[in-house]
Amino acid sequence: MQDINRPSGEDELIQLLLKRQSELNSLLEVTNAINKNTSTTVLIQMLEVILQNHLHVGRFRFLIEKDNTYACVSKYGGEMEPSGALNKACTTLSKIRSPHPLAKSANPVLNKYDYFIPIYHKSKALAYALIGDFTTSGEMLNNDLNVIQTLVNVVVVALENKKLFKERLQAERLQREMELAAEVQNMLIPLRVHKETAVEIGARYLPHQNVGGDYFDFIRLNDAEFLWCIADVSGKGVSAALLMASFQATLHAWTAVEDDLTNIVERVNQKVIDNTKGERFITLFIAKYNQQTRKLNYVNAGHNPPILYSGGEAVTLKLGTTMIGAFEQLPFLNQGEIDVEPGSLLFNYTDGLLDFEPYGDKEWNEEQLLDFILARGDETPDNFNQALLDHLNFSIKGKPIDDITMLTLRIF
């Protein structure tokens, strides 16, 4: 029963205090939910309940910035507009920084609402809110608008923090993956330069980032024969490193029991298909040399053709098949054979060498590489590799855009 002796101004003050208390309680509930790491869906549902039940907002649209556009993440009341129309309408008010009335707006989307509420961080608009069917007294209008802006701002900051935390976790996970992949790759790639009476080998591996998909190997088969390969595994990170490890294990297993290179390539292709279901591939050059017959047998599986330099001439080794892992059955498979003269240089490389981006009007392609080999092919493998890198750095003056691997053999 109302106290007839209480002044009406006192009643209004009590109502105002109760309303303020309700608003503070709502804000406290949202803050507690944020501190408990409540899901995005629940936070938005809490915001909707507070706006409808405590602040009497009958129509609401909430748009958050994502990838330089604004996606509507909350909506209730009235007929829903196309998301593109909402986005376009709100961005026309991008210079407005405080709650803005929309009753006189000429925009047919905006004039259905009472107020536009922007949320900014420094100069960047993080979110926009549209409120309509908004019933509040004239004395409480500014207060209610400020409360709505505060609530929306708190939710936006919470969502931004969730996004930043997720991005940080993703970055840390990616960094750990790259470190693990680098460890795997370091275990797989030979660390020492090989030199014996029959062959001298120089190798350089220059990853474009922490770890790439390049791989090379040298295997002494017996007193008369040795084998080597150079490969490029598609992709980066742990998945590429694991595929590389599987590839190495398969290669070593089959070279120990199989003499024919085409059979080895077919076995490797089947293993890659089994592991990746055709989603990854490997370009590969594999060769076997017999010191007694001086015969070099090879298969080029979609790889940049190595270059054999001998007696002032250079030839490319292209014969073979398509890349490994692309087809369950290789559509064709040919084995190349060539005689190797004493003192010949055989230069193997991955595609990152030709992806080297020249500076200005400089050119760098396979033809320029052949010219360089003709000019410097008599040097030792290590000196040749260094001279080529110096040429790229100081004469071509470009920059690498992918991993670079060079495997150079001098066959005596």
Residue 3 has pLDDT above 60, yes or no: no
pLDDT more than 90, % of the chain: 48
Of residues 119 and 398, more confidently modeled? 119
Residue 178 has pLDDT above 70, yes or no: no
Q: Are residues 46 and 154 located together in one domain of the fold?
A: yes
Residue 215 lies in a domain: yes
Q: Are residues 223 and 197 located together in one domain of the fold?
A: yes
Q: Are residues 221 and 299 located together in one domain of the fold?
A: yes
Mean pLDDT of 92-117: 91
Q: Are residues 191 and 158 located together in one domain of the fold?
A: no
Domain end marker among 100, 131, 164: 164
Residue 13's pLDDT is 61
Residue 226's pLDDT is 95
Q: Which residues pair with 288 in a beta bridge?
A: 227, 297
> Measured on CA atoms in the order 46, 50, 53, 56, is the torsion positive or negative?
negative
Q: Which amino acid is at 34?
A: I
Band of residue 382 on the pLDDT scale cut at 50, 70, 90 = very high
Strands 199-206 and 124-134, bridge-based pairing: unpaired
Residue 253's pLDDT is 93
Q: Are residues 264 and 185 located together in one domain of the fold?
A: yes
Q: Are residues 251 and 104 located together in one domain of the fold?
A: no
Residue 173 lies in a domain: no
Residue 345 lies in a domain: yes
Residue 176's pLDDT is 73
Residue 82's pLDDT is 85
Q: Are residues 216 and 155 located together in one domain of the fold?
A: no
SS3 of 165, please? Answer: helix
Residue appearing with tokens 């064709």: 332
Q: Return all residues near 382 (Cβ < 8 A) that are at least 6 apart.
A: 193, 202, 408
Residue 358 has pLDDT above 70, yes or no: yes
User: Which tens digits make up the pLDDT trace of 295-315?
Assistant: 999 999 999 999 999 999 999
Domain end marker among 164, 193, 228: 164
Two structure tokens written together for 257:
């029991």
Residue 409 has pLDDT above 80, yes or no: yes
Q: Are residues 84 and 200 located together in one domain of the fold?
A: no
Residue 161's pLDDT is 85
Residue 172 lies in a domain: no
Two structure tokens written together for 50:
């507070």
Length of the chain: 412
User: Which tens digits make up the pLDDT trace of 236-270?
Assistant: 777 777 888 888 889 999 999 999 999 999 999 99
Q: 190 lies in which domain range? A: 179-411
Residue 15 lies in a domain: yes
Of residues 169 and 282, more confidently modeled? 282
Mean pLDDT of 274-281: 88
Domain end marker among 139, 164, 189: 164
Q: Are residues 211 and 118 located together in one domain of the fold?
A: no
Our CA angle for 232, 399, 377, nearest 5°, is 70
Mean pLDDT of 135-162: 84
Residue 58's pLDDT is 94
User: Which tens digits make up the pLDDT trace of 186-243?
Assistant: 666 665 566 788 999 999 988 776 566 788 999 999 999 999 999 998 877 777 778 8
- Average pLDDT for the chain: 87
Residue 151 has pLDDT above 80, yes or no: yes
Q: Are residues 184 and 158 located together in one domain of the fold?
A: no
Residue appearing with tokens 């066959």: 411
Residue 169 lies in a domain: no
Question: Distance (Å, rounded) from C-alpha 210 to C-alpha 179?
Answer: 7
Of residues 147 and 303, more confidently modeled? 303
Q: What CATH number is attached to the domain comprising 142?
A: 3.30.450.40
pLDDT more than 70, % of the chain: 89
Residue 1's pLDDT is 45
Residue 1 lies in a domain: no
pTM of the model: 0.62
Q: Are residues 349 and 250 located together in one domain of the fold?
A: yes
Q: What CATH number is attached to the domain comprising 381?
A: 3.60.40.10
Strands 214-220 and 199-206, bridge-based pairing: unpaired
Q: Are residues 243 and 153 located together in one domain of the fold?
A: no
Residue 214 lies in a domain: yes
Two structure tokens written together for 379:
């040097």
Strands 320-321 and 295-301, bridge-based pairing: parallel
User: Which tens digits make up the pLDDT trace of 23-72?
Assistant: 777 778 888 878 888 888 898 999 999 998 888 899 999 999 888 888 89
Residue 33's pLDDT is 79
Residue 329 has pLDDT above 80, yes or no: yes
What is the total count of domains within the chain? 2
